[in-house]
Structure 1
């Protein structure tokens, strides 16, 4: 299938799924094949070259997920204004790789993190969040087609592939409704990690009730693989920076909801941290092993990483990279995560048999 025709086919089926419709392929729209290559990345400095995109496009992904900090709007020492958003997206549009992304990748899904939301570590209180939402919707038309006009925030979902090979993409908004996390009183010079602590106040929310209700609906939909996209890390939680672990009651609720809905095949994709890392949670509260693949930093210098993560599998690296999720739909379906550097070389990988992501034996 020609990639442009494939893009139209994927988008039409995705829109139909999102809006609760069915789509019959016409003469120019062929049935969507199950996704087998999913690229995911975050934290893109648009003022610098990004050779990672050449290698990402060479992988011919069926879907690209931009997980946040897709541009860096916030400017230190200067209050962010609504008119400051557009030039950063214009800068991304002007990069030589972005027209190729639009032309060659069948489906591009996106959410924001704090910097493209407009302010470092911003949440529900941010006065320009409407602008952050509007600019993401304007720039990423595939996601825009899946977000109702009257929805607060940018969370959205779609499912691709035939029965038995369905891949559901659940793209969360961890900014719009998010209350302020608990801050440590320990001076920065005396801390090993970031400024945040796990909170005891269970009234504070990360997703907000409307998004929680929507997420439950999505988890009850039929799917074989469920890719849940969170702009912040879900599993890693000891570093003191932004993560689900700052809202332990919300993380418990997330795991509980997966268990309650009997939603199998869940994996998490996350960004934000400027590192490549894989985490796996097998604590008793998990419905089954929870894997969180972090890909963050498409064009950044390599630096050492020294922070705790008892859930880490393999090494953690801080360098220019992107990641792929490959799905092998053979007799024993399996998922393989790969992290690739700016030369296109794989520097980390992990395979998971899909049957392990379920309730058998529990």
Structure 2
């Protein structure tokens, strides 16, 4: 067996279930299979080997699903791929093959259903990996920060439950000025290059990773700048996104890909902390009479989740900033959809929902901020922004002056929503390490070498 060409990537993980993405390589007309075997550390006997056939229709990739796992338990696993001369293999016959598995051991940990247990997460966005003639240019720059994340994850207490990548995991349009990628194979090549760099590969093989797209997975400020003929670009980009990002997420109910999901937004639970990962990019309505950043179905699902979720902490991921608004291109984020944002805020306020945190990226600057209400002392919402993982010299970093902070975010007859920063704006490559305990969320920003840049506490109520 050979080491996967991309992966393994641990995706959606529950108390008894895990999804692992693996890619092999086509071998002319020979059938190609990927396999995973797993066991608890310290045991010589492997619990099970699972195989799946890979096809070019899915870029020689697929997701292997592990079921009936024990809760709050560490497993070690091996992954690889191979080709055979026989076209008639069954699941049983594959088990009998004398396979030589790749030696590298990876680890995954299932979720704990316990409430009140401290949890930790890594959050980041905007990872620029420039491609020239199909080859990454200076790939170590785009991969360096993931070595620091891996080191933190290996030492973290509480252990890191998951990494949230909140948008722009690749830049389809990195050469947008003169040679943007539009063809399906070009876009697939970017995913292969981006996700197979050594440090990110090691991190995603050992830490459960959740992803959601933003504009650069398609085109800058999509769909505002959509032009004639861009339907083909969108189809190619979104098909690649489904294979490499959505495939191992909860959007596929049974964990098996091969068909288009109904939508790209999803939810997952980690004890008494729940996450709602929105799709704030592909369901936009830009018409003047009904501007929406989320479609009707998604807004309804989000509101119902906010109101009825039993979670102690509700984390809402939106790839673009919920607040504060940016002075430049602010209408590409929630500032361009004030009516829908106000409806969400009023839902939170009137239902007296506590501990709602908005998580986002996009702006190439990191910050924490707080929203209060002039007439409702019980209302409080926070945002945590983490961006970028790796910037490009073509794009500036955000600073405090990049944001509109000198006036209320919104107002209606009930009063004003007032905003304030709760820390400095970080204007360099970074990632966020969130630690959630019974009293607070500690937001720790680290630079690409792992050095602590800033730590901010958000008190829970």
**Shorter-normalised TM range:** 0.7 to 0.9
3-state SS of paired residue (1:62): strand
Partner of 2:111: 32
Structure 1 pair 303–27 and aligned structure 2 pair: CA distance change class (3 A): closer
Displacement after TM superposition at 1:151 (Å)? 4.2
- Say which structure is richer in strand: 2
From 410, 421, 426, the equivalent of 1:312 is 421
* Alpha-carbon distance in 2 for matches of 1:170, 1:273: 21
5 Å-filtered alignment, 1:63-212, equals: 63-74=162-173, 75-76=175-176, 77-78=178-179, 80-105=182-207, 107-116=208-217, 118-123=218-223, 127=231, 128-140=233-245, 143-147=248-252, 151-161=261-271, 166-180=272-286, 201=288, 203-212=290-299
Structure 1 pair 104–26 and aligned structure 2 pair: CA distance change class (3 A): closer
- Residues 1:338 and 2:338 aligned together: no
* Alpha-carbon distance in 1 for matches of 2:398, 2:282: 32
Partner of 1:62: 161
* Alpha-carbon distance in 1 for matches of 2:460, 2:448: 29
* Alpha-carbon distance in 1 for matches of 2:437, 2:144: 27
Return the TM-score normalized by structure 2.
0.62
CA contact (8 A) 1:13 1:160 kept: no
3-state SS of paired residue (1:282): strand
* Alpha-carbon distance in 2 for matches of 1:8, 1:244: 27
- Say which structure is richer in helix: 1
Gaps of 5+ in 1: 16-23, 182-200, 356-362
3-state SS of paired residue (2:190): helix
Displacement after TM superposition at 1:10 (Å)? 3.1
From 315, 323, 329, the equivalent of 1:227 is 315
Q: Which runs of 4+ in 1 moved over 6 A?
A: none
* Alpha-carbon distance in 2 for matches of 1:285, 1:139: 46
Structure 1 pair 27–239 and aligned structure 2 pair: CA distance change class (3 A): closer
* Alpha-carbon distance in 1 for matches of 2:202, 2:345: 38
State the Cα deviation string for residues 59-94 of structure 1 (Å, max 9, x = none).
222110000000000241345333332111011122
State the Cα deviation string for residues 194-229 of structure 1 (Å, max 9, x = none).
xxxxxxx45111101011122123222211111111
Structure whose CA Rg is larger: 2
Gaps of 5+ in 2: 1-7, 20-66, 74-109, 131-138, 154-159, 254-258, 406-419
Number of corresponding residues: 316
Partner of 1:321: 430
Return the TM-score normalized by structure 1.
0.77
Moved more, 246-255 or 282-291: 282-291
Q: CA RMSD in A?
A: 3.1
Partner of 1:290: 381
From 243, 249, 262, the equivalent of 2:339 is 249
Partner of 1:21: none
CA contact (8 A) 2:211 2:249 kept: no
* Alpha-carbon distance in 2 for matches of 1:28, 1:325: 22
CA contact (8 A) 1:109 1:142 kept: no
Displacement after TM superposition at 1:13 (Å)? 5.4
CA contact (8 A) 2:355 2:381 kept: no
